[in-house]
Amino acid sequence: MHDPLPLLLAMLIVFGSAKLLAELFERLGQPGLVGEILAGALIGPSVLGWIAPNETLKALSDLGVMFLLFGVGLEVKASELLKVGGKAMLVATIGVIVPFLAGWGILFAWGAPQLEAVFVGAAMVATSVGITASVLSARGLLHEIASKIILAAAVIDDVLGLIVLAVVSGIARGRVNVWEIALTAGLASGFTVLMAVWGTTALNRLLPHFASRARADEAKFHIALVFLFAMALLAQYTGVAAIVGAFLAGLALTDGADARVRTLTRGVSELLVPFFLVGIGLNLNLRLFRSKSIVALALLILAAAIVTKLVGCGIGALSLGWENALKVGLGMVPRGEVGMVVAQIGLGMAVIRSEVYGVVVFMAVATTLVAPLLLKIAFRAPQPLRAS
């Protein structure tokens, strides 16, 4: 399948299969996005082999998750996230340390070289907030306290993951430059905090000024898009993920964006988000699993990936009660595209072997499939306060 399919055929297959399986899953009472990810696994190299990842599908997928996070940001107030900042910091920190140690320990016990073990640990650190955000947004749960902690913790988690990756890459290269890492960490945290704290105020002052003077139709939406691209790009330059920038852009526009801007954004998301979800499934390649030992490792790593985030993040949120701790823990489980990126860097540095890369990708995709199913159960449980 090296000859790329014509764009339109690829789009029809990706979008059509995603929506077909989403509908099927909804009818089975399960989250539709699990169906969309499975559609990717089905049409990808593991099963049917119809679609292989390519540059344009990757671009649509990157844009999809960007618009997904932008849309989620539009629904949440920065001030509410800042209120739970302390708890989220605790959740993120414990939720980074525990999976890292588990991944490292398991690979080490399995007999992998020290560096490979450290890299797998690093790949287990970062949460993919896209999946959880999508589940919570689709079910209208973004305003629960657990949801806010998950969103804030995922942003902090991304900054922590960046630092872990910088340290681990330094170790692999043979020298850890402490000042460089401190600078990276400072820049990334600085951008995030600045945007979260003053972004809304700045936008509330600037947006009406521009929007009221513009002559073009839909000028507010155009300004929002330019701001989105600029913030995603700035985030990339400071080292955090583009989607964190997109989320912060959404947060800053929460007050400024009207219903029209939200609906137009929704149109873009409805088109592009399936490419993100299918793209995650496409990466799964079960044909890499050639020995029983690798299959066993994959299952062990998967179990560890789920349990460590559940327990690590859960402990961080325990002061809010068992139920919220469970929700937060489950919400942080999906690793998605973030874990894959770390594994790819390891592969590129020849520190991770291709079979171990396959294991990490399996963990990333499988956590993403399992979490929404568990989240659905956790958020269905009756809330004590509303029980009356």
Note the residues at the interface with a second copy (CB under 8 A). Answer: 6-9, 11-12, 15-16, 19, 22-23, 26-27, 32, 55-56, 59-60, 62-63, 138, 214-219, 221-222, 225-226, 229-230, 232-233, 236, 242, 263-268, 270-271
- Output the smallest distance, CB 285 to a second copy, in A: 24
Question: 111 or 217, CB closer to a second copy?
Answer: 217
- Output the smallest distance, CB 137 to a second copy, in A: 10
- Output the smallest distance, CB 117 to a second copy, in A: 32
Question: 105 or 267, CB closer to a second copy?
Answer: 267
Burial 159-183 (b: 16+ CB within 10 A, else e): bbbbbbbbbbbebbeeeeeeeebee
- Output the smallest distance, CB 63 to a second copy, in A: 8
Rounded Cα distance, 243 and 236, in Å: 9
Rounded Cα distance, 131 and 337, in Å: 10
Question: 23 or 180, CB closer to a second copy?
Answer: 23
Question: 103 or 281, CB closer to a second copy?
Answer: 281
Question: 216 or 385, CB closer to a second copy?
Answer: 216
- Output the smallest distance, CB 75 to a second copy, in A: 15
Q: Are the C-beta atoms of residues 281 and 21 closer than 8 Å to each other?
A: no
Rounded Cα distance, 114 and 27, in Å: 47
Rounded Cα distance, 32 and 138, in Å: 10
* Length of the chain (residues): 388
- Output the smallest distance, CB 19 to a second copy, in A: 5
- Output the smallest distance, CB 217 to a second copy, in A: 7
Report which residue type is found at 69. L
Count the Cβ atoms, other than its own, within 10 Å of residue 54. 15
- Output the smallest distance, CB 199 to a second copy, in A: 18
Rounded Cα distance, 190 and 265, in Å: 28
CA-atom Rg of the chain in angstroms: 20
Rounded Cα distance, 69 and 131, in Å: 10
- Output the smallest distance, CB 110 to a second copy, in A: 37
In terms of Cα–Cα distance, which of 163, 126, 142 is closest to 313? 126
Question: 33 or 342, CB closer to a second copy?
Answer: 33
Backbone angles phi, psi at 144, to 5 degrees: -75, 150
- Output the smallest distance, CB 164 to a second copy, in A: 23
Question: 216 or 387, CB closer to a second copy?
Answer: 216
Q: Residue 44: which region, alpha, beta or left (left: phi > 0; alpha: psi -120 to 50)?
A: beta
Question: 238 or 324, CB closer to a second copy?
Answer: 238
Question: 15 or 357, CB closer to a second copy?
Answer: 15
Rounded Cα distance, 216 and 207, in Å: 15
Helices 32-43, 129-138: crossing angle, 10 deg rounding: 140
Residue 127, classed as helix, strand or coil, is coil
Q: Residue 106's Cα: distance from chain center in Å? A: 24
Rounded Cα distance, 161 and 89, in Å: 13
Q: Residue 95's Cα: distance from chain center in Å? A: 15
Question: 94 or 242, CB closer to a second copy?
Answer: 242
**∠ Cα 67 85 121 (to 5°):** 75
- Output the smallest distance, CB 242 to a second copy, in A: 6
The percent of the chain in helix, strand and coil, each rounded to the nearest 5, is 80, 0, 20
Question: 1 or 59, CB closer to a second copy?
Answer: 59
